[in-house]
Amino acid sequence: MTAADIDAAILRELEPTGEQLVCFSRVRVPGGFWEKQAALLRLYWDGLVYAIKVGGVPYVSLADECDRELAARARAEGRVREIRVA
């Protein structure tokens, strides 16, 4: 399983939920723990998903237009997007 396969699987699993936040541990995709964590970060940095940590638990949803714009701006400025922690 490649990184692109895991990325695509995460996006497929989130598609039915749209922009509704879901606990990332409930997103069932193939791959090991660290591979899935790396995929989540890639998708977040690319502006394809939104992520927030609440009480140490990551919640994710598909990104909206604003998320994609923020990711593009961060990339253009040469910085890494931070995940919000609540």
pLDDT value at position 86?
73
DSSP codes, 54-79: ETTEEEEEE--HHHHHHHHHHHHTT-
The pLDDT tens digits for 27-58 are 999 999 999 999 999 999 999 999 999 999 99
Hey, is 38 helix, strand or coil? Answer: helix
The pLDDT tens digits for 67-86 are 999 999 999 999 988 888 87
Tell me yes or no: is domain 3-85 CATH 1.10.10.10.
Answer: yes
Confidence of residue 9 (pLDDT cuts 50, 70, 90): very high
| In the chain, where the domains are located | 3-85
Closest CA relative to residue 39, chosen from 54, 53, 27: 27
Mean pLDDT score, 13-25: 94
